[in-house]
Amino acid sequence: MPFPERLIQGYRTFAEDRLPVEQARYQELADDGQHPEVMVIGCCDSRVSPSVIFDTRPGELFTVRNVANIVPPYTVDEGHHGVSAAVEFAVQALQVQHIVVLGHGRCGGVRAFAESSPPLAASDFIGKWVELLKPAAAAAGPRSQYATMADYLSALEHQSVVASIDNLMTFPYVRDRVQRGDLAIHGAYFKVATGLLTVYDPATRTFASAAGAAHARKFSQPRF
């Protein structure tokens, strides 16, 4: 199959409209390298693009995306650790000042875990990966305490963000920089249907509108 025509058309629009405006920015990034202040750890879901949600320019976000926005706990072994490698580079080399774990509604990875979905292939990479959600499930509590499956999935999606934050603190260099006040870790949750963004308050362990209550009232509130 040929290269997707939609992507070619998109690139042409970028090259003709956006690139001329940001050419100086790209040249600066090429000459001086990247110096993002923020790392975002998000889901690879096509509906949840950090650069779109936060309306950022090239070079502003260092982003890693995976199924269900999971950060595994710090582990030193002979395995291949893509997320951990990205965290290591962001914190040790780029010296980012913020790490944002971005969860979202209608997450397929979270649903796959909650429903114990059958493997898509013999390797079952997805099933093995989302087993890392077990601490989030423990924090959310049993499915039976929720009125609907949607309520349970929403709770599990939120707790997955909190679990990833907790796992970030198992990285020695992350914990050290946080304790020194050089690095802050944040949680956020994006509702796909409404576009509402909420952020995690570690003091209350709850999520509230990123832009304030008045802003949140502008959104309808369907169940996720």
Sheet with 61-66, side-by-side order of all strands:
61-66, 38-43, 98-104, 184-190, 197-201, 206-209
pLDDT value at residue 154: 98
- Shared domain for 43 and 21, answered yes or no, is no
Per residue in 80-89, is it b (16+ CB within 10 Å) or e — as a string? eeebbebbee
First to last CA, the chain: 37
- Shared domain for 208 and 179, answered yes or no, is yes
pLDDT value at residue 191: 96
- Shared domain for 116 and 137, answered yes or no, is yes
- Shared domain for 122 and 49, answered yes or no, is yes
Listing DSSP states for 140-205 in one string gives H--GGGSSSHHHHHHHHHHHHHHHHHHHHTTSHHHHHHHHHTS-EEEEEEE-TTT--EEEEETTTT
Neighbours of 21 (CB within 10 A): 8
What are the backbone dihedrals phi and psi of residue 104, each rounded to the nearest 5 degrees, phi first?
Answer: -160, 165
pLDDT value at residue 212: 76
What are the backbone dihedrals phi and psi of residue 120, each rounded to the nearest 5 degrees, phi first?
Answer: -85, -20
What is the domain range of residue 153? 34-216
- Shared domain for 25 and 43, answered yes or no, is no
pLDDT value at residue 211: 80
Mean pLDDT per 10-residue segment, the chain (224 residues): 97 97 96 98 98 97 98 94 98 98 98 93 94 98 97 98 98 98 98 95 94 68 50
Q: Are strands 206-209 and 197-201 parallel, antiparallel or unpaired?
A: antiparallel
127: in domain: yes
222: in domain: no
67: in domain: yes
Q: What is the CATH number of the domain that holds 160?
A: 3.40.1050.10
- Shared domain for 97 and 150, answered yes or no, is yes
> Which two three-digit tokens encode residue 27?
């040249």
Token pair 């000042």: residue: 97
83: in domain: yes
- Write the CB contacts of 182 (distance below 8 Å, at least 6 apart in sequence): 95, 97
223: in domain: no
Cα 217 → chain centroid: 24
Number of domains observed in the structure of the chain: 2
- Shared domain for 101 and 9, answered yes or no, is no
- Shared domain for 150 and 187, answered yes or no, is yes
101: in domain: yes
224: in domain: no
